Structure formats: C-alpha cells, structure tokens
C-alpha cells in the first residue's frame, strides 16, 4: 500500500515534536537543578550522547564486568574491521588514527571492569571517549559530558588513580525513553 503524500511530513512532525519535548524536558530539569545556562543542552552532541547512554543502560552493559567486557570485545572487533576497510573509513569520514583511538587494550579492559567494583560504579571518561570515538572526537565527548554534568544529569567522580568515573543519575536516559515512546505512539496512531 502506497503512503499518502502527507505521510512523510506527518512522520517528520512527530520526530520534531518529540525531540523538542526531549530538549524542553532536559532544559526544565536543568533549570530546576540550578543550571545558569541551558542553551548547550539543545546541541546535537548532547542528544547523540544521551542516546548512546540510553542504549548503554537499556542493554545493561555495565551491570557487571562480564557484560562490559563482552560489549567492549564487540566494540574492539568492529574497530579492527574498520581499520582493515578503507572504503568504510572513507564512508564514515574518519582517519585510521581516529579509529585506533577507540581500541581497548587488555589492560584498559581490566581497568574498565575494575571501575564497576568501586563504591560508585561507572564507566571511566576515557573509556566512554573510546566507546564513542566513531560518534565524536574524544574532546567533544569530554565537553558534552561536562555540559550534562553542569546541568545535573551526571557526575564525574575522580578516583585515587586520577581517572574520572561517569555516574549518570538516569534522568536524561529516562527522558530519551519518553522521546522514543512518543515517537512510537505517534507512528502507531498514523498507521491506517
């Protein structure tokens, strides 16, 4: 069955409305948390990082060391495949040097596992930068983490080893889940 000419516009309206509500929700909660400025929360980098955090939480990647190690193993395999595939590198617009920054050594994997045993478990900022290297430069990841921290959605806890553990309060991820629910509800209402 062919879709009506209005169908793509209706879908776009659903997506735009849901995204606006997501950003409005982030901004309102940040203001309630005492944030002085919320304009940075509307940047695409924030949306993409929260989307990644939602996926990470939904898959329960950090529930234990085995789940995290398995996830990182899959990540490393994909990085290795990309390093062998020049066409994929061109398609992604990423240099081999940038892609290599995403690879975890055996020592880094063990450190990531150990971070889950801390009193406040979480993912190290450097590990998150490696995991998101295909999405952002490491510096962009750090800056986006800082935006979310200033807005009160996560905290960075410095360990005795001078690493920074990211501890999300889960609020931004719940807002992202509501965003997805709104899209799903809107699309199911549009089916004929």
* Cβ atoms of 119 and 137 closer than 8 Å: no
In the chain, domain spans: 40-169
Interval 142-151: pLDDT, tens: 999 999 999 9
Task: Please state which of the ranges 17-21, 77-81, 126-130, 158-162 shows the lowest mean pLDDT.
Answer: 158-162
Say what the pTM is: 0.90
List of residues 6+ apart from 173 with CB closer than 8 A? 50, 53, 54, 57, 58
Interval 33-89: pLDDT, tens: 998 889 999 999 999 999 999 999 999 998 888 999 999 999 999 999 999 999 999
CA distance 110 to 61: 15
């Amino acid at each position: 069955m062919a879709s009506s000419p209005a169908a793509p516009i209706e879908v776009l309206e659903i997506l735009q409305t849901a995204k606006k509500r997501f950003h409005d929700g982030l901004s309102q909660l940040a203001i309630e948390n005492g944030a002085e400025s919320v304009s940075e929360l509307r940047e695409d980098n924030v949306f993409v990082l929260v989307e990644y955090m939602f996926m990470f939480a939904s898959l329960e990647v950090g529930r234990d060391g085995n789940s995290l190690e398995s996830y990182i193993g899959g990540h490393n395999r994909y990085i290795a495949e990309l390093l062998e595939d020049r066409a994929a590198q061109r398609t992604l617009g990423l240099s081999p040097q940038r892609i290599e920054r995403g690879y975890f050594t055996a020592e880094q994997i063990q450190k990531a596992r150990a971070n889950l045993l801390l009193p406040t478990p979480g993912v190290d900022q450097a590990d998150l930068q490696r995991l998101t290297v295909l999405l952002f430069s490491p510096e962009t990841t750090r800056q986006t983490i800082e935006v979310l921290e200033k807005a009160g959605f996560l905290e960075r806890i410095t360990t005795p080893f001078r690493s920074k553990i990211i501890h999300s309060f889960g609020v931004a991820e719940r807002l992202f889940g509501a965003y997805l629910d709104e899209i799903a509800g809107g699309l199911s209402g549009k089916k004929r």
